[in-house]
Amino acid sequence: MFVTNKEFSQVLKTIRDVTSEHPNYQGFVEEMEEGWYQYRFHINDDPNREVYVAVQVLHLVA
């Protein structure tokens, strides 16, 4: 994700806070570095089918 918000820290906090609220969320895997998070989710309608999702956030300043 490319973020242009001046308050980049708030964007990162929001990602960390709300990701676990997703109905398919299964768990946090690791934080590779600031703004790069890995999570486990399951596929819709199949809780036994697990997928890994990486979220990488880059701060763009103009």
pLDDT at 37: 97
Domain span at 44: 2-59
CA atoms within 13 A on the CB side of 9: 0
* Strand stretches in the chain, DSSP E: 2-3, 25-33, 36-43, 46-56, 58-59
Total domains in the fold of the chain: 1
pLDDT at 61: 82
Please report which confidence band the pLDDT of residue 62 belongs to, taking 50, 70 and 90 as the band edges. Answer: low
Per-residue model confidence as pLDDT tens digits over 12-52 = 999 999 999 999 999 999 999 999 999 999 999 998 999 99
Cβ atoms of residues 60 and 4 within 8 Å? yes
pTM: 0.84
Quote the pLDDT of residue 42.
96
Residue whose entry in the numeric block shows the structure tokens 């934080």: 31
